[in-house]
Amino acid sequence: MAAWHRTLTSTSTSRWGCRERSWARPFTKGRSLIPELPEVETVRRELEPWLTGRRVLSAERLAPAGPKYADLERAGGQTIMSVRRRGKFLLLPLSGGDDLIVHLGMTGVVAPGPREGESPHLRVRLRLDGGAPDTLDFHDPRRFGRFLVVKSQQYQTLPTLAALGPEPLEEGFTDAGFSAALRRSRAPIKTYLLSQRPVAGVGNIYADEALWRARVHPLTPANALSEAQVVVLRIAIRDVLAASIAANGTTLRDYRTPAGESGEFEEYLDVYGRGGAACRNCGAVLVKSVVGQRGTVHCPACQPSSAKAGAR
């Protein structure tokens, strides 16, 4: 517990020259993105050893009532059994047969507290037994996040969670299963990846990165990928997610770890956010476009159009 407290209150500087976040500072301008699998997994790994086994004394909702914070008070009196992740969701099984579900939205940050210089965007506070830090706080400036309690495994009110594809870093994400999922859709491969149905946790950043690594054009119909392309794309998805987790994820604006640190993977992005720059593989100018209403970057040389891709 003391080691965690030192981490929270440290004023040390990261190797990128960034100080840990103070809640008194305003949120900076920039691109707001929903944290994806690497960011949520980083949060999970930091929270799990600290939260597991702690009892929730009370659950306080500091935001207006609504489905995003449904049945939160039921967490009171229950013990947090573990901290899990499914796609972009945090799942905290509780001792009384409920699950506490957390989705960070675009700007959500979940962290131990209370901290000095309290955030004006504090939406939920769980008071915990076991000594300081003795609260789990959910800060969410834009209020797109969720922090609610449901009966264990009863996710009907969260259709995205209920319909998630396999976890990309687990054994269940196989070439055969991924191929079968892609054969079911004629949607552009990027759009279909973002749907979360063929694989869980891949959002805009890592879809662009994986497609570039696999040399697949983002508009290629999902069911048009060759078996060889399916294999390469599956490996690319797995590898880019694992690499980002190793760097604590990507911070472009609001995402921070529970200890207040920024993710460092932005330094290693090959295409996302680099439209107009040179491709790191061939030197061609990276092209910005919109696919499924999402900003997209690809290399026209390394990722030829679907017609050319099908001819390879």
C-beta pairs of 4-10 under 8 Å, 24+ apart in sequence? 4/50, 4/112, 4/133, 5/132, 5/133, 7/259, 8/111, 8/112, 8/115, 8/133, 8/259, 8/260
Among the listed residues 97, 216, 218, 79, the one whose alpha carbon sits nearest the alpha carbon of residue 153: 97
Rounded Cα distance, 256 and 109, in Å: 7
| C-alpha closest to that of 294 among 222, 202, 225 | 202
Whether 46 is a known active-site residue: answer no
Question: How many residues belong to the chain?
Answer: 312
Catalytic residue among 45, 86, 183, 294: 294
Catalytic status, residue 198: no
For the record, the structure tokens of 84 come out as 């899990």
Our answer to whether residue 36 is catalytic in this structure is yes
* Nearest in space to 93 (alpha carbons), one of 118, 112, 75, 117: 75
Which of 68, 88, 146, 256 is catalytic? The answer is: 88
Q: Which of 21, 35, 93, 146 is catalytic?
A: 35
CA-CA-CA-CA torsion for 195, 92, 136, 206, nearest 10 degrees? Answer: -30
44 is catalytic: no
Catalytic residue selected from 20, 36, 41, 264? 36
Active site residues: 35-36, 88, 294
